[in-house]
Amino acid sequence: MRDFSDSPILRNGNSLIVAYDHGTEHGPVDFKPNPESIDPRHVFEVAKHDAVTCLAVQKGIAETYYPDYKDDVNLMVKLNGNSDLSEREDYYSPKQCTVRYAVEELGAEAVGYTMYAGSKYEDKMWEDFREVQEEARKYDVPVVMWAYPRGKGIEGNSDYGGSTDPDVIAYAARLGLELGADMVKVKYPGSEGNMGHVVNVTGKTKVVMSGGSKRSDDEFIKDVQTTIDAGANGLAVGRNVFQRENPEEILDRLEEVIFKR
């Protein structure tokens, strides 16, 4: 594992990543609660907030909009992704971008990759991730694994309580350490104790909480505070920022929680 403590995606060792790949993963329905968020420029403007250490977007958004924000926003390119439109036998997220293209052509400071541990296609995703991880080392950028356990291996196995089972979340997070991710992004596992376990099993690999669907300011901040108290390193958040009409307010609060312990 490389030392990325100087990476611009970290501040005092922690991160606040704004994720804006929902146009692929869920479709424009996610922009309905705040129609301004349809326009990527709105989210790039939001990401200028001091609290935000980088913005994670797909290749096309990076190519089209990032040139106007290079001086103000750090870019993470999400290398794989898929839509909700297709019918699939199980979860698989194909790559649309190489690390070389992300760094050399788009100006990425970091790259992201979704790993569906538990899917019928997990083995294929390991191979894809191996390429990503080794290329990321060559270009000296950190690689963040969206560690999302889901699929037939979990649903059909009575040893596991589904994708929200804290032990399953910890298992998928541990794969991040073992496969060479610098940071894993995990769904909130329900309690400080469970998040502490995730932090324990991932060792030196950093852990950030995945935002999830929009909830009240206080509910959301409570989960983030619990995550930080458990020893994790911050947040990667989409809807709980861009679906708000005043995202600056929640970002001010997140800045306090994540960076000023």
* Interface residue list for ligand FBP (CB under 6 A): 19, 21-22, 25, 146, 210-212, 237-240
Distance of CA 89 to the CA centre of its chain: 24
Would you say 138 or 162 has its CB closer to ligand FBP? 162
CA 19, 61, 131: angle at the middle one, nearest 5?
A: 75
Torsion angle of C-alpha atoms 27, 33, 34, 38, degrees rounded to 10:
10
Element (H, E) at 219: helix 217-229
CB of 3 to ligand FBP, least distance (A): 26
Would you say 2 or 120 has its CB closer to ligand FBP? 120
Would you say 22 or 244 has its CB closer to ligand FBP? 22
CB of 57 to ligand FBP, least distance (A): 10
For residue 235, give the nearest of 243, 244, 224, 226 by alpha carbon: 224
In single-letter form, the type of residue at position 57 comes to V
CB of 158 to ligand FBP, least distance (A): 24
CB of 54 to ligand FBP, least distance (A): 13
Would you say 4 or 116 has its CB closer to ligand FBP? 116
- Tokens describing residue 81: 């992704």
Give the CA diameter of the chain.
51
Q: Of all residues in this chain, which one has the CB nearest to ligand FBP in the complex?
A: 211
What is d(CA 90, CA 73) in angstroms, rounded to the nearest whole number?
A: 35
CB of 176 to ligand FBP, least distance (A): 14
Would you say 4 or 148 has its CB closer to ligand FBP? 148
**Using the 8-state DSSP alphabet, how is residue 66 labeled?**
G
Catalytic: which of 59, 185, 187, 206?
185
Q: What is the per-residue DSSP string for 83-147?
A: -SSS--SS----B---HHIIIIIT--SEEEEEE-TTSTTHHHHHHHHHHHHHHHHHHT--EEEEE
Residue 185 annotated in active site:
yes
Residues forming the active site: 185
